[in-house]
Chain A
Amino acid sequence: MTTKIITAISELRKKQPRFRGLESGHRACLGCGEALAARLVIEATGPDVLVANATGCLEIFTTPWPESAWRVPWIHSLFENTGAVAAGMESALKAQGKSTKVLAFGGDGGTFDIGFQALSGMLERGHNVLYVCFDNEAYMNTGIQRSSSTPHAAMTTTSPPGKERMGKRHLKKDIVSIVAAHHIPYAATASVSYPSDIRKKVRRALAIDGPTFLQIHCPCPLGWGHEGDESITVARLAVQTGLFPLIELERGGLASAMPIRHIRPVTEYLQMQQRFRHLFTDEARAKEELEHIQAIADHNIEIYGLRGECKDAFDSEGMDTVRRGGMRWA
């Protein structure tokens, strides 16, 4: 039975050849959301790109010398300078009169925290670069430490719960709004659980001559504490609860948001992950934190108008079923 499915998938692949810029055989954990998201992004950009990649899991698991999983020109320099390296590459291509697109890849640590200044500079100066942040909500490469993207109350090795603490005390930084506040042409969020949406947003960003930004929510089974085969379910629940709204911003203003057809309670999302397990006790403070998190989701639903009215091919349920070959260019 299993073999049959695998054959079917590989046959499907053959029928729909796509550009593969990130090869299989790299060393990511089973079910790594970042690996899948990076593959999807490169599939959508095609081969005419140069990539600058920040230090982090994606860099480490794809390039153990003398091997490389990349089939596109790719450079890793440092953790915090990816925006600037990409800006330099883009300036060079511009000086040479080439139209090759420059992509910058960073984790949430490399984007929200240590590389934030270089990113901001790149956006402000208007470089023609698509910056993709693979947001797995912690420093995974160094062993799951909190970042400014780690959601409120999540447990990491540097935000452990204990007598005095309920995981991370602070809120997740709203990076996409900060990025959009640079008044760049296009900034968006996406989730690895909505591949067609990623493709659509990457293509949209590529078509723009100027700085664009895509934040892709990528579960990390190791850091979040769920099974590898649950990554897509977990990521989809983040969207369906309103905790991770999928939005597009143009020149700083909201241009679209993916409606949620059936809004789910946040507990459905949280209880699948070990990083939130301290919230599921009888303690009053645990209940209070759950209420906080629900309030965050409700707030998102409100400000972005995420409540879907009716069936919609582009809502949180419809997007699941948008298939290749059908609404292919959705």
Chain B
Amino acid sequence: MLQALEGSQAVAQAVALCRPQVIAAYPITPQTHIVESISKLVADGKLQCEFVSVESEFSAASVVLGAAIAGSRAYTATSSQGILLMAEVLFNIAGMRVPLVMTCANRAISSPLSIWNDQQDSMSVRDAGWIQLYCADNQEAVDTTIQAYRIAERTELPVMVCMDGFILTHTLEGIDVPTQKQVDSFLPPYQFARQLDPRNPLTLGTLVSPDFYPEARHSHHQALLNAQAEIVSADQDWFALTGRKSGGLLTIEGPEQATVAILTIGSVLGTLRAALEELPPGQPVKLIKLRSFRPFPKETLKAACKGLKDLIVLEKAFSPGSGGIVGLEALAAVAELPQPPRVHNFAAGLGGRDIPLDILPRLLAVLEEPDNNRFRIIDVDLEKLPLADR
């Protein structure tokens, strides 16, 4: 049944449907509405769980780590500075292969301080060893949250569900909230093979010598690569159950014969869809929505880019001193094709800068520039900068 819900409320309901036993969180804009909504569900007795109001994100991540290894399904959510404060724990959770789910309400990183959306926060911890799934809309955020628990618990890898701050978290949409029965049939009760239990004492988080460290890293890497199958099957099974898909590893839409594609990640897809409708017929363009950034679905992306002449990568973060993050990875992937497309890489929407509909013709204008594939931040007004920084 469709309900008009704010993205944060919708995610809170999705989390509650997964029957978490421990939730720990610390407030930060734009994540706050999620934990406030969950607190209300707990206060109203609609969700039976231990809600731990911690004193920092560092402790939030540590509390859910402790809860998960002690045998309870756990949840946390954060943003921006909170992700950075958690960073050490995030790597630790993943290295220990603890199945957890966290929502990242994507927000820019200070300094300069910005509470508005981009994806620099989750991108900054891309090497933490978490699965990272990006949502294009709030229905996807709901469905992906539920799928995330199944993926995490089957792969023993933590999953970060990334949704654009404000653009999704604070926007009202009609949401089809799954029933408890649906979720229960999809998600079995929490089980963790290495659960701490006095009847079977295990030692977790030991010191390893160089004799074992590379093997541990290899197995973590391999587990992430293998997780692609679980991400796909979770989405397929969810589709069979609810008739809705969130897009597996990535999805392609648009005319088959198009030789130009725009690769995006997150909610900007909606803007591009709308912009495409307004575009006068002529240039056919495909849209590729990358849902799984970690693991990076190289083979699937290569298949999606076969026959393309131009691939435009539009992202909301970058690596200062280098360039685009998704762009560089896409470039490396398509370079393995016999006839690789040209890759053009843009960052846009940084720190909440509006991405207007006319972004599309501006992106497509790059096709007229011969061999110009440098990375650019769209829409920078150089007039605002001192000469030396232009």
Contact of A88 among B22, B49, B55, B206 (CB under 8 A): B22
Q: B58: which A residues are within 8 A, CB to CB? A: 80-81, 84, 117-118
Q: Is A71 an interface residue (CB 8 A)?
A: yes
**Is A87 an interface position by the 8 A CB rule?**
yes
Cα-based distance from A77 to B64 in the complex (angstroms): 12
Whether B52 contacts A88 by the Cβ 8 Å rule is: yes
Contact across chains for A75 and B89 when beta carbons are under 8 A apart: no
Q: Who on chain B is nearest to A53 by CB?
A: B205
- A91 lies within 8 A of B72 (CB): yes
Residues of A within 8 A of B89 (CB): 77-78, 81
With an 8 A cutoff between CB atoms, is B280 at the interface?
A: no
Q: Are B196 and A81 in contact (CB under 8 A)?
A: no
* Residues of chain A in range 260-303 having any CB-CB distance to chain B below 8 Å: none
**Is B124 part of the contact surface with A, judged by Cβ < 8 Å?**
no
**Interface size of B by Cβ–Cβ distance < 8 Å?**
44
Report if B365 contacts A (CB, 8 A): no
Which residues of chain B have C-beta atoms less than 8 A from A80's C-beta?
A: 58
The answer to whether A91 and B207 have CB atoms under 8 Å apart is no
**A141, chain B: closest CB distance, angstroms:** 10
User: A92 near B74 (CB under 8 angstroms)?
Assistant: yes
In the complex where A78-B92, A88-B22, A117-B56 touch, is A64 in contact with B209 (Cβ < 8 A)? Answer: yes
Query: How far is the CB of A215 from the nearest CB of chain B, in Å?
Result: 21
Q: If the complex has contacts A85-B62, A86-B66, A92-B66, are A50 and B198 also in contact, measured as CB distance less than 8 A? A: yes
Complex CA distance for A92 and B69, rounded to whole angstroms: 9
Known contacts A77-B89, A89-B67; is A49 also within 8 Å of B198 by CB? yes
Chain B residues closer than 8 Å to A324, beta-carbon distance: none
B204 interface residue per 8 A CB criterion: yes
Inter-chain CA distance A47–B89, complex, in Å, is 28
Q: Are A65 and B212 in contact (CB under 8 A)?
A: yes
In-complex Cβ contact of B201 among A52, A73, A94 (8 A): A73
Q: How far is the CA of A47 from the CA of B53 in the complex (A)?
A: 30
Closest residue of chain B to A69 (Cβ to Cβ) is: B203
Closest B residue to A82 by beta carbon equals B62
> Complex: how many Å from CA A75 to CA B195?
10
Q: Are B197 and A73 closer than 8 Å at their CB atoms?
A: yes
Which of A28-36, A119-127, A315-323 participates in binding chain B? A119-127
Contact residues of B: prevailing secondary structure: mixed
Residues of B within 8 A of A94 (CB): 50
- List the A side residues contacting B21 at CB < 8 Å: 91-92, 95-96
Residues of A close to B63: CB separation below 8 A: 84-85, 87-88, 91
Which of chain A's residues have a CB closer than 8 A to the CB of B196?
50, 73-75, 89
Whether B59 contacts A77 by the Cβ 8 Å rule is no
Hey, which chain B residues are within 8 Å of A77, CB to CB? Answer: 62, 65-66, 89, 92, 96, 205
Contact A78–B53 (Cβ < 8 Å): no
Q: Does residue B24 face the partner (Cβ distance < 8 Å to A)?
A: yes
Task: Return the contact of B204 from the options A47, A76, A81, A120 (Cβ within 8 A).
Answer: A76
B58 → chain A closest CB, angstroms: 6
* With A78-B89, A91-B50, A92-B21 as contacts: A52 and B66 at CB distance below 8 Å: yes
Which label, helix, strand, loop or mixed, suits the secondary structure of the A interface?
mixed
Query: Which residues of chain B from 17 to 50 have a CB within 8 Å of any chain A CB?
Result: 21-22, 24, 49-50
Query: Can you list, as one digit per residue, whether each of A41-58 has a CB less than 8 Å from chain B (1) or not (0)?
Result: 000000111101000000
Which of chain A's residues have a CB closer than 8 A to the CB of B67? 88-89, 91-92, 95
CA distance in complex: A90, B67 (Å): 7
Against B, the Cβ 8 Å flags (1 = close, 0 = not) of A88-116 are: 11111111100010000000000000000
Contact between chains at B69 and A75 (CB < 8 Å): yes
Taking CB atoms, residues of chain A closer than 8 Å to B68 are 88, 92
Q: Does B208 contact A (CB under 8 A)?
A: yes
Q: A87-B63, A92-B67, A96-B21 are in contact. Are A59 and B207 (CB under 8 A)?
A: yes
A87/B205 in contact, CB under 8 A = no
Structural contact, A118 and B59, CB atoms closer than 8 A:
yes
Asked if A145 lies at the interface with its beta carbon under 8 angstroms from chain B, I say no
Q: Which of B104-152 contact A (CB under 8 A)?
A: none
A88 to B64, alpha carbons, bound, how many Å? 6
CA distance A100 to B96 in the complex (A): 23
B62 cross-chain contacts in A, Cβ below 8 A: 77-78, 81, 84-85, 87-88, 118
For A181, what are the chain B residues with a Cβ–Cβ distance below 8 Å?
Answer: none
In the complex, chain A residues 199-217 whose Cβ is within 8 Å of any chain B Cβ: none
- Which B positions have Cβ atoms within 8 angstroms of A? 21-22, 24, 49-50, 52-56, 58-72, 74, 88-89, 92, 96, 196-198, 200-209, 212
26 A-B pairs within 8 Å (CB atoms) are namely A60-B207, A65-B206, A72-B198, A73-B197, A73-B198, A75-B66, A76-B206, A81-B61, A81-B62, A84-B54, A84-B60, A84-B66, A85-B62, A87-B54, A88-B24, A88-B65, A88-B70, A88-B74, A89-B66, A91-B21, A91-B72, A96-B71, A117-B55, A117-B56, A117-B58, A125-B53
10 residue pairs, one from A and one from B, having the closest CB atoms:
A88-B66, A84-B62, A92-B72, A88-B63, A121-B55, A68-B203, A81-B62, A76-B205, A92-B70, A84-B59
